[in-house]
Amino acid sequence: MQRDDTTGVERTASEPGATRHDLVLAAIPLVLLGGAFGGVIADVGIRTGIAVGSTGAAAVLGYALFGDPPVGRGGGGRSAS
């Protein structure tokens, strides 16, 4: 069973419900594709759209890693001694 850190309730993999980590993983390619699609629609060029989308995807990744980082639980880290 997995523990959902936002509610403190244990849930199994078969139960529906997206966590914050799932949303971040879904947002990265969506932002990138949105930038590419926006570049085609706005007629500024696909390269410009991909550049804007990749900047947005990097911002989402930066938030996930540094703004609200995942917190490890026990046993996996090295001790200072």
Is residue 30 within 8 A of residue 21, CB to CB? The reply is no
C-alpha distance across the termini of the chain, in Å: 32
d(CA 43, CA 49): 9
d(CA 3, CA 53): 32
Q: What is the pLDDT of residue 9?
A: 55
Domain ranges in the chain are 17-67
Strands, E assignment, 1-81: 2-4, 9-11
Q: What is the pLDDT of residue 28?
A: 95
Model pTM? 0.64
Q: What element of type H or E holds 55?
A: helix 46-62
pLDDT digit of tens for each residue in the chain (81 aa)? Answer: 555 555 555 656 666 788 888 899 999 999 999 999 999 999 899 999 999 999 999 999 999 988 888 776 655 555 555
